[in-house]
Amino acid sequence: MATVSRFLVLLFLLASALQGCAHKGQLYGQLPASNQQATPVTFDYRSDRGGTGGKISTTLPSGESFSGNYVQITSTTQEQEVAPFFNGWSPYWNDWGPFGSPWMDAGGYPAFRTNYSDRVVATLFGDRGDTMRCRFDLKKPIAGLRGGGTGECQTSKQERIDVQF
């Protein structure tokens, strides 16, 4: 009986450890160029334990490297967890439509969390002073970025990268 109990405890500990493991992977993007074929851009990510956030980085064809954090918005994500992802977005780039609203509207953060639950936002900072923001729609939100999805990133120079993963 003690052996069975010990086995169940070990099995529970292993399952708990696996659930909270960090994952790493890649996202694949295309940077359109005027009068040329789009250039591939690869993003590397590493999730934090728990999988609702992590680090993401890339290097553009220009040679500028970007790195920063991402967060997956869930029904339990707190406003203070998301607010830092909008630093460096000034002047808020309202051409992204819904990302300027309802975040900025009277509905405030609760409306934002409802509208963007199970999506990912990121802010990356370049080694040459530029910034990049990203937003991703997840195919399988329970799996985070490793579950696949689509999205886009935009640099402060208005370069747009279409992303699939």
pLDDT tens-place string over residues 4-14? 455 444 444 44
The residue-averaged pLDDT of 150-162 equals: 92
Cα(124)–Cα(55) distance, rounded to whole angstroms? 9
What is the pLDDT confidence band of residue 16, given thresholds at 50, 70 and 90?
very low
Segment 86-106 shows an average pLDDT of 53
Kindly report the CATH number assigned to the domain that includes residue 118: 2.40.128.120
Maximal CA-CA distance, the chain: 72
Query: Is position 65 within any domain?
Result: yes
Banded model confidence at residue 3, pLDDT cuts 50, 70, 90: low
Number of separate domains in the chain? 1
Domain around 37 = 23-164
- Asked whether the bond before 84 is cis by omega within 30 degrees of 0, the reply is no
